[in-house]
Amino acid sequence: MATDDLVLSAKPILERFGLAGRTAVVTGGGQGIGRAYAHALGEAGAAVAVADISIKTATVVAEELRAKHIDAIAIQVDVTDAAQVAAMVDTVVAQWGHLTIAVNNAGIGQWIAAEELPEADWDRMMNINLKGVFLCCQAAARAMLPAGYGKIINMASMSGHISNTPQNQAHYNASKAGVIHLTRSLAAEWAPRGVRVNSISAGYTRTQLVDDLLQKPMGKEILPQWMGLTPMKRMGEVTDLQGAVVYLAAEASDFMTGNDLIIDGGYCAW
């Protein structure tokens, strides 16, 4: 049998995108992109733990998943608290016996001139967007490494690659650049033991977080400028990101690690 025949004797491609038998936890899963990820992973066959600092919103999303006959639970977690993050992973393992997929999506945004930025705001941004991602990666890996397999997916941003305009958000950009390089670093460290670590960098995507920022006085001026810099001339929808998270969670991406998928309507192409 030729080598090509051996390769093509693998499972059919759509089966390699399926997540049956896998378990996932999604932080920041109570709204926006996290909610969309939770639905996508569940629809692809995974059992899903919806984790959020708000147990109310996490519970609503878990109920949405169960209405689709998806096995789901809600967990309250503050991703900046190592003990709470460890307990989150322990809850998943106690519920389903293992953790296969960890989507570290919880994060915040803020617009403020760098020279006016209070130190406390810098610390809060880094604690949630970067330290929180690390703590979740660490806790997930402690469950995945002994099993010899796992998928960790971190939520970065195109803001980790470029400096946004016209809004000022140096601390946010720095936090997301940190997520991208943290992802590469952990991927290299854990690859020999079967744990893949990748990230997704979204462009301007329609969520409540973005809508809240656009309500600021300069918001009406900013949106046309964003679209003028985006080749596709539209904002992304959360559904535009779902295919990427399923791919990174599935067997289909088993030879991929340390990478960042930019889904931005072409913004970074210019």
pLDDT tens-digit map of 30-71: 999 999 999 999 999 999 999 999 999 999 999 999 999 999
Q: What is the CATH number of the domain that holds 254?
A: 3.40.50.720
Domain membership of residue 85 (yes or no) is yes
Domain membership of residue 141 (yes or no) is yes
Domain membership of residue 214 (yes or no) is no
Which pTM does this prediction carry?
0.95
pLDDT tens digits, residue range 97-149? 999 999 999 999 999 999 999 999 999 999 999 999 999 999 999 999 999 99
pLDDT at position 218? 75
The tally of domains found in the chain comes to: 1
Residue 124 CB partners (closer than 8 Å, separation 6+): 108
User: Cβ–Cβ contacts within 10 Å for residue 160, how many?
Assistant: 22
The residue range of the domain holding 34 is 11-205+238-262
Domain membership of residue 3 (yes or no) is no
Distance (Å, whole) CA 62 – CA 78: 18
Domain membership of residue 219 (yes or no) is no
Instruction: Read off the amino acid at residue 246.
Output: V
Distance (Å, whole) CA 19 – CA 27: 18
Residue 195 CB partners (closer than 8 Å, separation 6+): 141, 144, 145, 149, 150, 151, 152
Domain membership of residue 4 (yes or no) is no
8 Å CB contact between 235 and 173: no
For residue 82, what are its two tokens? 């190592």
Q: DSSP letters of 6-71?
A: HHTTS--HHHHT--TT-EEEEETTTSHHHHHHHHHHHHTT-EEEEEES-HHHHHHHHHHHHHTT--
User: Cβ–Cβ contacts within 10 Å for residue 120, how many?
Assistant: 8
Domain membership of residue 227 (yes or no) is no
Residues known to be catalytic? 172
8 Å CB contact between 154 and 199: yes
- 9 pLDDT exceeds 80? no
Domain membership of residue 213 (yes or no) is no
End-to-end CA distance of the chain: 46
8 Å CB contact between 198 and 153: yes
